[in-house]
């Protein structure tokens, strides 16, 4: 046991003395969360809105009043014909235009059913979606206030000129995404690199010609990175809860348990990489190409899986981080319980068993 | 019982095992003996050492170290041998002291327990014990590596080219250290590309292209060199060498430090050679009898 | 015969902070000479050699290489010297021919010249059959001989060799020295460092550095006489043992 601890101590020296790498490992996840967080949480406040009111009656002016009274929007321009919409966007007068058709008041009065149109500048699709959501909410609110006094329910259909963007379905999808990335990066890449480094410098040779069980060497390497991961995940969760207001809706214990499962998956992967490579460079390339990129591209975090071509959808099934990502989204964002993520958990467990047994099978107690 | 017994050991590399690194090698090493494996880079010394230290599996043949089989009892061997690989294999970002402590713990021992064994060596680097191993000079790294390899009081010590790239002074010091370790009863197998270090070993084997050319004490090996060697020098050594190689009573001639060595065929005479060389216009000619060295033996064995 | 001096240094010094790596060295090397540059690890050999090759600027002192000042004419110096070291010599993943072509190309030689000379060189080294093989697949000794030939391919006035024969077998080592003799006979000055003391005997003159200074410089015969030593090995040990600098 003393042997084992002295190994872990040594690993900590390595990490501690390579300050630059250590700061990157600890700082990068935080930076990612903050950057993603502020880039994607578009809190709408006093956003300029232009209005094309072709109806010009009581109902339309009530809606306009409601919008300009809200703290989200400022009416900065009243347009007179549809041609002006494009110019509004070009001159940055507003990023959203509410169009009330000429039949709006009449339709509402006679058939209790009318349509409005929201046109947005979709050059930044994320912001456009957010603006539409806010504007729609105000209109729905107005519709409900009418309903409270009416016998037949009123219905205002909001037609938006931008299709619903499924990528923003869970607005805070980046938190689970970053968690998957960090685990992958530290547990897989760093574990692989640090083992391969010992091969490169020749210290592995000396270690093997000693009474230490080779498996112990590897376990000792995993522990410091496991701890580093725990620190990172805690940081990410604290940041997301307290700075970004992304709550943990589900069970924290479940989330932790699933994260440990994924950590073991990643460590097994790192171990497997280290046993098939001889240079740090190769280990790095395999980790980047084989794991990091698929995590970013195919886990559903950056690009929604349902929008992918069939081939990529199939490939995404073998990317472990895809399953972990789904689990975190379900537990953390949607607040679901274990029963709804059974499939994902099983798939991930299966992958872990497979990877771990492959890694152990390939582990060398000699040099070749 | 012999400390190391090697029987017909072979090692091949490559997809079809086409690269033969060690070919059918056999030798024994007695306890507390310094056994030198002498040969140039690529002779197969490292592969041989790696097999004996259980890092590689042989393709054929067998060997035992201190009575344990290198394949079956590899765990037992790992407990009782010390190994210093060819390149510096310590943790560069750990200090001298941390490295030594670490190696002591992994062998389940402490520095204090075996301090008497490493004292002579460690005392020279102790003033720098807080320094990172990566910041040490070549000679000091070598001493630290040896201390780490000795910390568990191994029965057999394997040193793979410990003096390569090390200057003549540090080399001398290193061999003095090995002599003292031998007195403590440790068997030492050491490989080197420097022929002049052969004389410092109790017994040696000459290795070239995976094969052992000759094994024995240095005197046995040079003693088996039966031909006469003449040392020849002249004002222009380059021209002299060309003339020597052109002379038909000479089997082989090569540069050898201050003198050229001429290996004479039987029935040749020194006088005839002198006459021939003077006729060729060599000035300040000196010819003398030379006792064959290990390098002479090696050259002869390589060429035959 | 001052006009045949090809390397001249006067009080050449290199400091790194408080540390004087090379301490006021002065010596001359003559054209076509084989000059052995010996010293223990850390005596300052590599630093001195780097200055002479124009790779690092001295802190003080003067030196001319092939008539060019080492402060002002480093580019001209680089064109008139060749360099080979044990560690770096050729690209292992290029073939023999590609390596030669690459190095010759650096010195701006014409294609025709390169082609003719490559053929000649391969013939001299008996490497015709290996011309299209990767350098990495050749035995060490062949690589070193090839590396030397490449270093003098552009017919430099001086060639610097940094431990060219480390780890090479005794036969190849002698073949390598034959190449050195040939180069020297052609008038190329050879500046060589080595850990093999018998090789020091092959040099016309030998300098021995201790603690950044040149403590001895003479022919091997004269050195052995002065130090009443039987071999260069003894001369070297006598001098190197005086070193006070820890070889770091």
> Which chain C residue shows the shortest CA-CA distance from B124?
C246
Q: Which residues of B touch C247 (CB under 8 A)?
A: 137-140, 167, 170
**CB spacing of C174 vs B254 below 8 angstroms:** yes
C41 → closest Cβ in B41, B137, B299? B137
Measuring CA to CA, which residue among B21, B25, B23 is closest to residue B5? B25
Residues A287 and A273 sit within 8 Å (Cβ to Cβ): yes
Architecture of the domain delimited by B4-223 = 3-Layer(aba) Sandwich (3.40)
Interface test with B, best of A206, A219, A368 (most B CBs within 10 A): A206
Measuring CA to CA, which residue among C62, C46, C80 is closest to residue C158? C80
d(CA C104, CA B244): 36
* Residue appearing with tokens 């886990």: A299
Q: Is A19 on the interface with B (CB under 8 A)?
A: no
d(CA A87, CA A97): 11
**Beta carbons within 8 Å of A106's beta carbon, 6+ residues apart:** A55, A57
**CB spacing of A6 vs B85 below 8 angstroms:** no
Q: What does the pLDDT read at residue C187?
A: 92
Measuring CA to CA, which residue among A245, A319, A248 is closest to residue A289? A319
Residues B99 and A10 sit within 8 Å (Cβ to Cβ): no
Chains C and A touch (3+ CB pairs under 8 A): no
B258 → closest Cβ in C42, C201, C236? C201
Q: What does the pLDDT read at residue A166?
A: 37
Output the six-digit token pair for C223. 């050195």
Helix residue spans in chain B (DSSP H)? 45-52, 74-80, 96-106, 115-125, 138-150, 168-183, 218-223, 237-246, 270-279, 294-303
Q: Is A20 on the interface with B (CB under 8 A)?
A: no
Q: Is B144 on the interface with C (CB under 8 A)?
A: no
Q: Which residues of C touch B140 (CB under 8 A)?
A: 246-248
Distance (Å) from the C-alpha of residue C10 to the closest C-alpha of chain B?
A: 27
Radius of gyration in angstroms for the set of CA atoms belonging to chain B, rounded to a whole number: 23
**CB spacing of B255 vs C202 below 8 angstroms:** yes
Q: Which residues of C touch B193 (CB under 8 A)?
A: 166-169
d(CA A63, CA A78): 14
DSSP for A35-88 reads: HHHHHH-----SEEEEEEESS-SHHHHHHHHHHHHSSSEEEEEEESSTTHHHHH
Q: What does the pLDDT read at residue C169?
A: 84
Q: What does the pLDDT read at residue C248?
A: 43
* Residue appearing with tokens 């001086």: C158
Residues B48 and B71 sit within 8 Å (Cβ to Cβ): no
Distance (Å) from the C-alpha of residue A22 to the closest C-alpha of chain B?
A: 14
Task: Tell me how crowded residue A229 is: count the other CB atoms within 10 A of its CB.
Answer: 26
Task: Tell me how crowded residue B82 is: count the other CB atoms within 10 A of its CB.
Answer: 26
**Cα dihedral across residues B262, B268, B273, B274: positive or negative:** positive
Residues C81 and C160 sit within 8 Å (Cβ to Cβ): yes
Residues C16 and C65 sit within 8 Å (Cβ to Cβ): no
Measuring CA to CA, which residue among A273, A183, A276, A285 is closest to residue A225? A183
Q: Is A203 on the interface with B (CB under 8 A)?
A: yes
B169 → closest Cβ in C40, C196, C246? C40
Count chain A–chain B contacts defined by CB atoms under 8 A: 75
**CB spacing of C140 vs B40 below 8 angstroms:** yes
Count chain B–chain C contacts defined by CB atoms under 8 A: 101
Q: Which residues of C touch B245 (CB under 8 A)?
A: none
Helix (H) or strand (E) holding A219: helix A214-238
**CB spacing of B106 vs A207 below 8 angstroms:** yes
Helix (H) or strand (E) holding A232: helix A214-238
C-alpha to C-alpha distances, B146 to B49, B158, B159, B163, C20, nearest whole angstrom: 16, 10, 9, 12, 30
Strands (E) located in chain C: 5-16, 19-30, 34-39, 60-65, 68-69, 81-85, 158-162, 189-193, 205-210, 213-218
C174 → closest Cβ in B136, B196, B255? B255
Query: Where is average pLDDT lowest: A4-18, A112-126, B35-49, C202-216?
Result: A112-126
Output the six-digit token pair for B216. 């024995």
Which chains have 3+ CB pairs within 8 A of B? A, C
**CB spacing of A13 vs B85 below 8 angstroms:** no
Q: What does the pLDDT read at residue A255?
A: 92
Architecture of the domain delimited by B229-303 = 2-Layer Sandwich (3.30)
d(CA A158, CA A143): 11
CATH code of the domain occupying C2-90+156-240? 3.40.50.300
pLDDT in 10s for each residue of chain A, 368 residues: 778 888 888 989 998 888 888 888 889 888 888 887 776 555 567 788 889 888 888 888 888 888 888 888 888 888 888 888 888 877 778 888 888 888 888 888 787 788 888 888 766 666 777 788 888 888 888 888 877 776 666 777 776 654 333 334 344 667 888 888 888 888 888 889 988 998 888 888 888 888 888 888 888 888 888 888 889 989 988 988 888 777 788 899 999 999 999 999 998 999 899 988 988 999 989 888 887 788 888 887 777 777 788 888 898 899 999 999 989 988 887 788 888 899 999 999 999 999 989 988 888 888 77
Output the six-digit token pair for C144. 């070193």
Interface test with B, best of A17, A209, A214 (most B CBs within 10 A): A209
Q: Is B153 on the interface with A (CB under 8 A)?
A: no
d(CA A42, CA B277): 97
In chain C, residues 145-204 whose CB comes closer than 8 Å to chain B: 163, 166-172, 174, 177-178, 181, 184-185, 195-198, 201-202
Residues A363 and A195 sit within 8 Å (Cβ to Cβ): no
Enter the DSSP assignment of A154: P
| Phi and psi based region of residue B166 (left: phi greater than 0; alpha: psi -120 to 50; beta: remaining) | beta
**CB spacing of C247 vs B193 below 8 angstroms:** no
Mean pLDDT of the B270-284 span:
92
**CB spacing of B106 vs A203 below 8 angstroms:** no
d(CA C100, CA B138): 33
> Which chain B residue shows the shortest CA-CA distance from C230?
B258
The three-state DSSP-derived secondary structure of B214-241 is EEECHHHHHHCCCCCEEEEECCCHHHHH
Task: Tell me how crowded residue B269 is: count the other CB atoms within 10 A of its CB.
Answer: 11
Measuring CA to CA, which residue among A53, A54, A52, A48 is closest to residue A68? A48
In chain B, residues 200-239 whose CB comes closer than 8 Å to chain C: 208, 237-238
Enter the DSSP assignment of A242: I
Query: Where is average pLDDT lowest: A106-115, A141-150, B50-59, C210-219?
Result: A141-150
Mean pLDDT of the C141-161 span:
91
d(CA B209, CA B41): 9
Q: Is B53 on the interface with A (CB under 8 A)?
A: yes
**CB spacing of B101 vs A17 below 8 angstroms:** no
Q: Is A43 on the interface with B (CB under 8 A)?
A: no
pLDDT tops 70 at residue C247: no
Q: Which residues of C touch B256 (CB under 8 A)?
A: 198
Output the six-digit token pair for C128. 């015709």
Reported as a pLDDT band with limits 50, 70 and 90, residue B167 is: confident
**CB spacing of C221 vs B258 below 8 angstroms:** yes
Output the six-digit token pair for A116. 């409005």
Domain segments of chain A as ranges:
2-39+171-362, 47-168
Phi, psi of C81 (to 5 degrees): -125, 160
Q: Is C220 on the interface with B (CB under 8 A)?
A: yes
pLDDT tops 90 at residue C191: yes
Q: What does the pLDDT read at residue A43?
A: 59
> Three-class SS of residue A145?
helix
Architecture of the domain delimited by A47-168 = 3-Layer(aba) Sandwich (3.40)
The 10s digit of each residue's pLDDT in C18-52 is 899 999 999 999 999 999 999 887 788 989 998 99
Measuring CA to CA, which residue among B208, B213, B290, B215 is closest to residue B254? B290
**CB spacing of A3 vs B106 below 8 angstroms:** yes
Q: Is A207 on the interface with B (CB under 8 A)?
A: yes
Q: Is C244 on the interface with B (CB under 8 A)?
A: no
Domain segments of chain B as ranges:
4-223, 229-303
Q: What does the pLDDT read at residue A171?
A: 46
């Amino acid at each position: 046991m003393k042997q084992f601890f002295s190994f872990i101590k040594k690993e900590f020296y390595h990490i501690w003395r390579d300050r630059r790498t250590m700061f990157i490992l600890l700082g990068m996840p935080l930076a990612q969360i903050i950057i993603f967080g502020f880039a994607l949480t578009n809190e709408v406040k006093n956003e300029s809105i232009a209005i094309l009111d072709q109806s010009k009656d009581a109902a339309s002016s009530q809606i306009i009043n409601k919008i300009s009274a809200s703290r989200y929007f400022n009416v900065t321009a009243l347009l007179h014909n549809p041609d002006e919409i494009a110019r509004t966007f070009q001159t940055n007068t507003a990023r959203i235009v509410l169009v009330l058709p000429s039949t709006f008041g009449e339709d509402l009065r006679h058939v209790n059913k009318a349509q409005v149109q929201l046109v947005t500048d979709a050059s930044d699709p994320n912001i456009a979606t957010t603006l539409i959501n806010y504007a729609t909410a105000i209109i729905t609110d107005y519709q409900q206030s009418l309903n409270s006094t009416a016998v037949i329910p009123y219905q205002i259909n909001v037609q938006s000129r931008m299709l619903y963007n499924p990528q923003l379905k869970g607005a805070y999808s980046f938190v689970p995404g970053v968690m998957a990335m960090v685990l992958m990066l530290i547990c897989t890449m760093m574990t692989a690199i640090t083992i391969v480094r010992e091969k490169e410098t020749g210290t592995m040779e000396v270690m093997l010609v000693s009474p230490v069980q080779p498996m112990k060497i590897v376990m000792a390497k995993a522990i410091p990175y496991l701890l580093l991961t725990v620190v990172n995940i805690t940081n990410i969760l604290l940041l997301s809860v307290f700075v970004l207001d992304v709550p943990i809706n589900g069970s924290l214990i479940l989330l932790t348990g699933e994260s440990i499962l994924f950590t073991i998956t990643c460590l097994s992967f790192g171990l497997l990489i280290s046993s098939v490579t001889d240079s740090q460079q190769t280990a790095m390339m395999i980790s980047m190409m084989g794991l990091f990129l698929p995590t970013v591209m195919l886990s559903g975090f950056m690009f929604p899986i349902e929008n992918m071509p069939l081939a990529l959808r199939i490939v995404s099934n073998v990317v472990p981080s895809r399953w972990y990502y789904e689990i975190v989204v379900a537990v953390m964002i949607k607040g679901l319980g274990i029963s709804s993520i059974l499939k994902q958990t099983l798939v991930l467990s299966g992958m872990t068993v497979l990877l771990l047994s492959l890694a152990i099978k390939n582990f060398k107690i000699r040099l070749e | 019982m012999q400390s190391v017994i090697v029987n017909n050991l072979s090692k091949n590399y490559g997809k079809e095992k086409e690269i033969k690194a060690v070919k059918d090698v056999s030798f024994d090493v007695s306890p507390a003996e310094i056994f030198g494996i002498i040969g140039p880079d690529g002779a197969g010394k490292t592969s041989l050492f790696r097999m004996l230290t259980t890092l590689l599996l042989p393709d054929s043949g067998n060997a035992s170290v201190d009575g344990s089989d290198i394949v079956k009892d590899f765990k037992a061997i790992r407990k009782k041998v010390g190994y210093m690989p060819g390149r510096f294999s310590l943790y560069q970002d750990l200090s001298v002291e941390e490295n030594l402590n670490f190696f002591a713990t992994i062998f389940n021992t402490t520095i204090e327990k075996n301090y008497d064994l490493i004292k002579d060596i460690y005392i020279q680097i102790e003033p720098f014990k807080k320094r990172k191993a990566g910041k040490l000079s070549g000679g000091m790294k070598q001493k630290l590596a040896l201390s780490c390899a000795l910390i568990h009081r191994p029965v057999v010590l394997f040193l793979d080219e410990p003096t390569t790239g090390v200057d003549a002074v540090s080399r001398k010091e290193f061999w003095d250290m090995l002599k003292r370790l031998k007195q403590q009863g440790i068997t030492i197998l050491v490989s080197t590309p420097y022929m002049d270090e052969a004389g410092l070993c109790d017994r040696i084997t000459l290795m070239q292209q995976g094969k052992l050319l000759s094994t024995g004490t240095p005197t046995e090996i040079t003693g088996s060199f039966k031909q006469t060697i003449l040392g020849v020098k002249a004002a222009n050594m380059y021209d002299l060498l060309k003339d020597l190689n052109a002379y038909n009573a000479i089997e082989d001639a090569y540069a050898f430090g201050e003198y050229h060595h001429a290996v004479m065929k039987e029935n040749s005479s020194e006088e005839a050679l002198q006459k021939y060389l003077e006729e060729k216009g060599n000035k300040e000619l000196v010819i003398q009898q030379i006792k064959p060295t290990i390098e002479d033996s090696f050259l002869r064995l390589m060429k035959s | 015969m001052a006009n045949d001096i090809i390397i001249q240094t006067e009080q050449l010094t290199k400091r790194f902070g408080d540390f004087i790596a090379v301490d006021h060295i002065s010596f001359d090397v003559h054209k076509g000479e084989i000059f052995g540059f010996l010293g223990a690890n850390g005596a300052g050999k590599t630093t001195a050699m780097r200055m002479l090759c124009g790779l690092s600027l001295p802190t003080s002192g003067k030196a001319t290489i092939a008539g060019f000042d080492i402060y002002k004419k480093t580019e001209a110096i680089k064109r008139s010297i060749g360099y080979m070291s044990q560690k770096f010599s050729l690209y292992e993943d290029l073939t023999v021919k590609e390596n030669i072509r690459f190095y010759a190309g650096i010195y701006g030689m014409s294609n025709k010249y390169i082609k003719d000379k490559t053929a000649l060189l391969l013939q001299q080294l008996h490497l015709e059959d290996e011309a299209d093989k990767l350098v990495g697949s050749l035995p060490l000794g062949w690589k070193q001989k090839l590396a030397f030939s490449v270093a003098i391919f552009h017919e430099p006035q001086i060639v610097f060799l940094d431990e060219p024969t480390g780890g090479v077998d005794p036969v190849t080592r002698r073949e390598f020295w034959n190449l050195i003799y040939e180069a020297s006979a052609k008038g190329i000055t050879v500046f060589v460092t080595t850990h093999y003391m018998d090789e020091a005997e092959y040099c016309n003159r030998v300098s021995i550095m201790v603690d950044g200074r040149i403590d001895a410089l003479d022919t091997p015969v004269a050195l052995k006489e002065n130090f009443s030593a039987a071999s260069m090995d003894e001369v070297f040990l006598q001098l190197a043992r005086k070193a006070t600098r820890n070889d770091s």
